């Protein structure tokens, strides 16, 4: 089988023998697609707690095998990736711990890292390396049908190995993500949680909130909100369509950092609100001018094409 | 000159004789491109208060003529479109009123409509029809170089003619926007302002605010914010890169509706904040689930392609 177009080079020799993917949502199924297409593991086994998802994964021919349980999937695996909601990582680690072999690398893909490190570490058997990972990539879709192999292309993947983690295990985990065309960065789990609180968690919370506010309006109908969404609202709805269980767990697991960012956000919003109420155009203009610099940085870094280029191609 | 691909049919006979575009930013220059390419007016004259912008418009060959003043551009025009910030509409209307000919249609493109109706109406000469318009379209770019002809393609344009406005003038204005491939809807100016407060104005304020909050952080560097922006923040920066002067005027001109929406937004955010603080996962999950419905409506209405389709085509 040859892919019509390859987004990353296919390996001649697989990186891992047995790869176990626990949890078959958007991320899990995307890893399955990419790892198979790019020959990152000799044998790819998936599992999910939901029997319907396991059935669907078999229909989709994800990986090489769909096991009936996490335990069965993790047995003798060289690389185990937990792709379950952040709040479930501890329990799954506890469940599979008895079958993890020495030298295996346990990893995850959670959007919060410190809570995962704390939940997983107590269950880690001697000789198993724990290298937490967070691919900063996603779409508004979830479930086993949502995955596609190039999801991680040119996206960052942050590794947050606890101090003292085996360097070779970190290097192999890096190779795994770089093999799927991600760009890897290493940082501490607590710093990760602070960075993501502002770049991802707070934006999601705000988006979920504003879409809820719009839904509750009586004076403006939902069909009007939908019709005229191109004025800015649309982008919020995309973010607010993300998986509810995943995001519930993120906010519960990164509570401190999110509350801190929310506090700052509210203080700043109070200032802008006051400027609107008292007709202080100068304060508004000054604020709206300085926020342009960050945008220029993002476009310059190639994390997004300038919007006009995309629109002109319609 | 033939366009490589036409996004809308070119008229055999122009709709207007003389079209005057006052203000040459993203919207003004896009109208100039579209009206010329699609033969919507026999003679298109532009003007701008800024001499550098006029010079640039001549270099770009926008329309057929760039006049030295709004007065000169508006003289004998059949259709005059004010493409200036909302706060400037009243003053420009007052300036050009003496040269507006009977039967002419005066229009604008402001994102706020009631304040524009109130500012412009007192200056309207007898026999001149005022048909305010708001094309719900834009990009993050501004200025005479930012325009392109298909900006309004499949975007809504809302007309808010005051009660008693000449029906023929409304019909001609509708034809003008439909000629540029926009979808036209008519509603009252106050209702417009309420609808746009939630679908556009509040999202912009929130986006400007969160980008500002991120900029002020000391614990997270700007380069980190930029790097990891794909987790949600990126979409906010795009919105927060819009023209500062235009948006200052929007918030000042639609103060009541924006403050009302802000109040509701804050009440809702307090609820989510509380749920995070006290670990109330059920409230979070319920909220995150119901916001998905609006998103499905937007994708179904064709106002946006599902994101995965775009990503797969990278």
Q: Which residue has the higher pLDDT, A132 or A310?
A: A132
Distance between CA B156 and CA A222 in Å, rounded? 16
Q: Which CATH topology does B191-279 take? A: 6-phosphogluconate dehydrogenase C-terminal fold (1.10.3660)
Query: What is the model's pLDDT at position B1?
Result: 43
Task: Decide: A116 and B190 in contact? Cβ < 8 Å.
Answer: no
Is a pLDDT exceeding 70 seen at residue A2?
A: no
Report the chain A residue with the minimal C-alpha distance to residue B297: A226
Best of B211, B250, B274, B280 to substitute, by most chain A Cβ atoms within 10 angstroms, is B211
Is a pLDDT exceeding 80 seen at residue A183?
A: yes
**B252 touches A: beta carbon within 8 Å:** yes
What percent of chain A clears pLDDT 90, i.e. is strictly above it?
Answer: 79
**A188 touches B: beta carbon within 8 Å:** no
Query: What is the model's pLDDT at position A308?
Result: 58
Query: What is the model's pLDDT at position B73?
Result: 98
pLDDT in tens, A135-168: 999 888 899 999 999 999 999 999 999 999 999 9
**A46 touches B: beta carbon within 8 Å:** no
Strand-strand pairing, B133-135 and A183-186: unpaired
Tokens of residue A79, six digits? 């690389």
Report the chain B residue with the minimal C-alpha distance to residue A275: B252
Q: What average pLDDT does the segment A96-110 reach? A: 98
Task: Decide: B90 and B64 in contact? Cβ < 8 Å.
Answer: no
Distance between CA B276 and CA A258 in Å, rounded? 9
The partner residue sitting opposite A150, judged by closest CB among B196, B203, B314, is B314
Query: What is the model's pLDDT at position A302?
Result: 65
Distance between CA B152 and CA A149 in Å, rounded? 34
**B219 touches A: beta carbon within 8 Å:** yes
Distance between CA B238 and CA B221 in Å, rounded? 19
Q: Which CATH topology does B16-187 take? A: Rossmann fold (3.40.50)
The partner residue sitting opposite A228, judged by closest CB among B195, B215, B233, is B195
Question: Does the distance separating the beta carbons of B238 and A195 come in below 8 Å?
Answer: no
Largest CA distance in chain B: 67
Report the b/e string of B149-166 with b at 16+ CB within 10 A: bbbbbebbbbbbbbeebb
Query: What is the model's pLDDT at position B295?
Result: 82
Distance between CA A123 and CA A176 in Å, rounded? 24
Distance between CA A205 and CA B261 in Å, rounded? 17
Q: What average pLDDT does the segment A106-111 reach? A: 97
Q: Provide the mean pLDDT of chain A.
A: 92
**A-chain residues near B223 (CB < 8 A):** 297
Distance between CA B312 and CA B314 in Å, rounded? 6
Task: Decide: A247 and B211 in contact? Cβ < 8 Å.
Answer: no
**B251 touches A: beta carbon within 8 Å:** yes
Distance between CA A292 and CA A313 in Å, rounded? 24
Distance between CA A177 and CA A199 in Å, rounded? 21
Query: What is the model's pLDDT at position A5?
Result: 60
Question: Does the distance separating the beta carbons of A237 and B291 come in below 8 Å?
Answer: yes
Task: Decide: A116 and A56 in contact? Cβ < 8 Å.
Answer: no
Which strands sit side by side in the sheet containing B79-82, from one edge to the other? B65-66, B41-47, B16-22, B79-82, B105-108, B129-130
Task: Decide: B24 and B57 in contact? Cβ < 8 Å.
Answer: yes
Query: What is the model's pLDDT at position B300?
Result: 80
Task: Decide: A113 and A193 in contact? Cβ < 8 Å.
Answer: yes
The alpha carbon dihedral of B140, B144, B148, B154 has a sign of positive
Please give the helix or strand (H or E) that residue A57 lies within, else none: helix A51-59
pLDDT in tens, A203-261: 999 999 999 999 888 777 888 888 888 878 888 888 888 889 999 999 999 999 999 99
- Interface predicted TM-score of the whole assembly (ipTM), two decimals: 0.88
Query: What is the model's pLDDT at position A313?
Result: 59
Is a pLDDT exceeding 80 seen at residue A305?
A: no
Helix intervals (H) in A150-188? 167-179
pLDDT in tens, A55-97: 999 999 999 999 999 999 999 999 999 999 999 999 999 999 9
Please give the helix or strand (H or E) that residue A214 lies within, else none: helix A202-216
A43 has which bridge partners? A18
SS3 assignment for chain B: CCCCCCCCCCCCCCCEEEEEEECCCHHHHHHHHHHHHCCCEEEEEEECCCHHHHHHHHHCCCCCEECCCHHHHHCCCCEEEECCCHHHHHHHHHHHHHHCCCCCEEEECCCCCHHHHHHHHHHCCCCCEECCEEECCCCCCCCCCCCCHHHHCCCEEEECCCCCCCHHHHHHHHHHHHHCCCEEEECCHHHHHHHHHHHHHHHHHHHHHHHHHHHHCCCCCHHHHHHCHHHCHHHHHHHCCCCHHHHHHHHHHCHHHHHHHHHHHHHHHHHHHHHHHCCCHHHHHHHHHHCHHHHHHHHHCCCCCCHHHHHHCC
Question: Does the distance separating the beta carbons of B261 and A213 come in below 8 Å?
Answer: yes
Distance between CA B246 and CA B254 in Å, rounded? 12
pLDDT in tens, B139-162: 888 999 999 999 999 999 999 999
Phi and psi at residue B165, to the nearest 5°: -65, 140
Q: Which residues contact A78 (CB under 8 A, 6 or more apart)?
A: A16, A17, A18, A19, A41, A101, A103, A104, A105
Size of interface A-B (CB pairs under 8 A): 346
Q: Which residue in the block uniquely carries the two structure tokens 């929007």?
A: B250
- Domain ranges (residues) in chain A: 16-187, 191-279
pLDDT in tens, A252-302: 999 999 999 999 999 999 999 999 999 999 999 999 998 887 788 888 876
Question: Does the distance separating the beta carbons of B247 and A288 come in below 8 Å?
Answer: yes
The low-confidence residues of chain B, meaning pLDDT below 50, are 1-4
């Amino acid at each position: 089988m040859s892919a019509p177009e390859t987004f990353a080079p296919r390996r001649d020799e697989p990186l891992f023998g047995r790869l176990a993917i626990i949890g078959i949502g958007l991320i899990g199924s995307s890893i399955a697609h990419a790892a198979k297409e790019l020959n990152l593991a000799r044998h790819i086994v998936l599992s999910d707690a939901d029997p319907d998802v396991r059935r669907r994964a078999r229909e989709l021919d994800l990986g090489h095998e769909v096991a009936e349980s996490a335990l069965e999937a993790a047995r003798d695996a060289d690389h185990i990736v937990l792709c379950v909601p952040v709040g479930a990582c501890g329990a799954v680690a506890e469940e599979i711990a008895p079958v993890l072999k020495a030298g295996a690398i346990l990893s995850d893909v959670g959007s919060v890292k410190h809570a995962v490190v704390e939940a997983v570490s107590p269950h880690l058997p001697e000789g198993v390396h724990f290298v937490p990972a967070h691919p900063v990539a996603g779409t508004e879709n979830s479930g086993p049908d949502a995955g596609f192999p190039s999801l991680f292309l040119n996206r960052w993947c942050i590794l947050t190995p606890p101090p003292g983690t085996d360097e070779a295990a970190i290097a192999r985990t890096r190779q795994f993500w770089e093999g799927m065309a991600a760009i890897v960065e290493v940082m501490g789990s607590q710093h990760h949680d602070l960075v993501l609180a502002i770049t991802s968690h707070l934006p999601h919370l705000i988006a979920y909130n504003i879409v809820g506010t719009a839904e509750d309006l009586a004076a403006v109908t939902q069909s009007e909100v939908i019709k005229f969404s191109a004025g800015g609202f649309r982008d919020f709805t995309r973010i607010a369509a993300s998986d509810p269980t995943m995001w519930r767990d993120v906010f519960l697991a990164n509570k401190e950092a999110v509350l801190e960012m929310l506090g700052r956000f509210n203080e700043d919003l109070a200032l802008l609100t006051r400027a609107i109420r008292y007709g202080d155009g100068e304060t508004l203009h000054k604020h709206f001018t300085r926020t342009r610099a960050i945008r220029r940085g993002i476009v310059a870094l190639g994390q997004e094409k300038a919007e006009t280029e995309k629109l002109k191609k319609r």
